[in-house]
Amino acid sequence: MYFTSSPFWLQWLYPTLTWHKNRKEKYVYLTFDDGPVPVVTPYVLNTLEKFDALATFFCIGENVCKYPNIFKDVLAKGHRVGNHTFNHLKGWNTPDQEFLENIEKCSEAVHSNLFRPPYGRISKVQIRKVKNMFPEMEIVMWDVLSGDFDRNISLEKCTRNVLKNVKNGSIIVFHDSEKAFARLEHTLPIVLKELQLQGYGFKML
Ligand SMILES: [Zn+2]
């Protein structure tokens, strides 16, 4: 169960997290979680390049260590990177100390003041502890979820999840992962083309 559009009450419960950017400017913020990995991340980089779009990649530290050259490509193309823990830990199921250490371990490979908790799961106590340990860290959630990770939805549904929910300042979640690739491969070019036609620009966080 997940929301393709983050509900107002959830955003209200967690006001210190970033849910979207400026609603008055016609930009959207594409984000790609869980990479870098072969095939999928290069596909995303090529597709973004065709549309002159810059994006933000929330990387898993373990993948950065496994595929350093793909990670370098992400940076070389001018995109921004963020911390997504070293082992993709779910905050709710992880003791605070272990969670913090895993973020720190990721930060050795991914130099960034952006953090996105895997699965969007982070407790209020953990939010406070992350902010204490990394005072510059911005914790970034999203307001539009493509659902590309969900094998039970059609390609068209994945595309619709984005296009029907997007608005000025939206932060949109995709995944550069093998699991998501079928849906991502279909949806990403359509979304870029359609939003460009609607007059949106694409920005990094
Ligand atoms: Zn993730």
Give residue 78's region: left, alpha or beta (phi > 0; psi -120 to 50).
Answer: left
3 state SS of 119: helix
Task: Give tens-digit pLDDT for 64-103.
Answer: 999 999 999 999 999 999 999 999 999 989 999 999 999 9
Whether 175 sits among the annotated catalytic residues: the reply is yes
State the maximum Cα–Cα separation within the chain, in Å, rounded to a whole number.
Answer: 46
pLDDT averaged over the chain? 97
Multiple choice CATH, 8-202, 1.20.1250.20, 3.20.20.370, 3.40.50.300, 1.20.970.10: 3.20.20.370
- Model pTM score: 0.97
* d(CA 60, ligand 1 centre) in Å: 8
Options 34, 143, 175, 176, the catalytic residue = 175
Task: Give tens-digit pLDDT for 7-60.
Answer: 888 998 999 999 999 999 999 999 999 999 999 999 999 999 999 999 999 999
Contacts of 150 (CB under 8 A, 6+ apart): 2, 158, 183
Task: Give tens-digit pLDDT for 164-187.
Answer: 999 999 999 999 999 999 999 999
